[in-house]
Structures are given as structure tokens and as C-alpha cells.
Amino acid sequence: MSESTPICPQCASEQNYFDGTFTVCLECGHEWDAASTTSSTQELDVKDSNGNPLANGDDVILIKDLKLKGSSTVLKKGAKAKGIRLVEGDHEIDCKVDGMKIMLKACFVKKA
């Protein structure tokens, strides 16, 4: 059943259901048309700090120390994020760094 339901484009949750015309996320309540979302995520043109194109599943490395907003945690330069997911919005990359789920701008990473 999880293979037929798409991942939520807003919170990346797999907990969602189809409601006639839209897919609804159980975690954040976001509604979207699954057919149009699938085609638009494949067309995202995201490039890292060196101008290399990024794709879903790539590994990236931070190029500078980043302080997490609202926290005292600092992500160190050289930290690696494996298996990124490209998303639309002001932050292009959804990933895990040091076990924390975060969103990054592509200008702060380079392709590994």
C-alpha cells in the first residue's frame, strides 16, 4: 500500500491517503494532486554551490558551518548528508545530517 501512495511534498511523510481528487497528508494536513506533483519534482533544476546539478538520492557535503535557527546546534563544515530529497520552496534540499531532519539551501552544499 505504501508503494501506491506518494510522499507528502510539504513534510515528506508517507502517512497519507487518497480522497477522491486529492491526496491528503495525515501528519500536516497538506492536500495535493499526486499526478501533478510527481511530474513537477522530476523537473526541479537544483544546483550545488559549484554549479553541479543535484538529483534525488545524491550525497552532499556542507561547505560552511551552519547554525540551526531556534537552536544552539551548529552543523559543522564537512558534515555529509546521504540520500537527499529535492523539494520546492525557499529551501531546495530535505535531508538528514547527524541524525537530524533538516532543510537546506543548495548554495550551502557541494555534491559528494
Q: Which of 60, 56, 58 is nearest to 7 (CA)?
A: 56
SS3 (DSSP) at 42: helix
Q: Return the C-alpha cell found at 36.
A: 501533478
Same domain, 93 and 58: yes
Same domain, 17 and 64: no
What pLDDT is stored for residue 27 in this prediction? 84
Average pLDDT on 98-107 reads 92
* Strand residue runs (E) in the chain: 16-19, 22-25, 31-32, 46-47, 53-54, 60-62, 66-67, 74-75, 80-81, 85-86, 93-97, 100-104, 109-111
What pLDDT is stored for residue 36 in this prediction? 61
Q: Specify the CATH number for the domain of residue 106.
A: 2.30.30.40
Same domain, 65 and 101: yes
Same domain, 37 and 50: no
Query: What pTM value is reported for the model?
Result: 0.61
| Owning domain of residue 37 | 1-43
Same domain, 74 and 107: yes
